[in-house]
Amino acid sequence: MAKAMTLLWGAGSPPCWRVMIALEEKNLQGYNQKLLSFDKMEHKSKEVLDINPRGQLPTFKHRNTIVNDSYAVCFYLESQFKSQGNKLIPDSQEEQALMYQRMFEGLTFYDKLNAVIYYDWFVPEGERHESALSRNKEALTTELKLWEGYLQKLGSGSHVAGPSFTLADVVIFPTVAYLFRFGLSAKRYPKLGEYYNLLKDRPSVKASWPPHWLENPEGQDTLKDI
């Protein structure tokens, strides 16, 4: 089944990592994959644009079905392969509702992280202002406190939507991993640190760990003062 799938992805991309975790969780190893370089602008190549006119990664194809947005791919995989691998949408009405809520809040979480760690990438040099970056950091701090509170309320050892590992974890863990990769203090945010440690050794996460992180495990200190 997996041999009928193709994933075009880029290292250092949380959206790509979401899809790779989902594929592992559904026991769909052995899919065709191609690692592309953002630095070389390979995500804007004809190969990608022919499948994804937005020129973004991940780009995913299953037989003749094309699904490009990372959330859409994760939902697609769970829908098409419900009985295979791990169940990622809980039966409980309450847990399912919280899963959907946290998933879509996760998009805001990811955007606020990007606005800080990739500020110089997104904003042209002549348009950069310390005051703008400072506001972005304040917004990220507020967001971090929100997620710290969510995890505090759920209790020690919980996943982001309750006791079970769900699609919410599939899409949010890469954002949390990037926080600590870029120097976030686990002492300042102990619940996020606990959540990171809970999942970092999960088989699906380890199997899809960004290759350049393995080569250079040190990370950066961009978020050390957040």
pLDDT in tens, 77-89: 999 999 999 999 9
* Mean of pLDDT values over 28-56: 91
49 and 108 share one domain = no
Whether 224 is in a domain gets the answer no
Work out the pLDDT band at 127, boundaries 50, 70, 90.
Answer: confident
CA dist 47 and 40 (Å) reads: 14
CATH number (domain holding residue 121) = 1.20.1050.10
Give the whole-angstrom CA distance, residue 200 versus residue 186: 14
Residue indicated by tokens 């594929």: 23
Kindly state the average pLDDT of the residues 159-183: 97
* Domain count along the chain: 2
User: What would the pLDDT profile of 92-124 be if each residue is shown by its tens digit?
Assistant: 999 999 999 999 999 999 999 999 998 776 777
Q: How many CB atoms lie within 10 A of CB 167?
A: 26
pLDDT band (50, 70, 90) for residue 217: confident
User: Which residues have a Cβ under 8 Å from the Cβ of 6 and sit 6 or more positions away?
Assistant: 31, 32, 33, 34, 60, 61
Q: What's the rounded mean pLDDT across residues 156-179?
A: 96
Average pLDDT for 117-143: 86
pLDDT of residue 40 exceeding 90, the answer is: no
- 30: region left, alpha or beta (phi > 0 left; psi from -120 to 50 alpha): left
Is residue 73 situated within a structural domain? yes
Range of the domain at 36: 2-81
Residue 106 and residue 30 in one domain: no
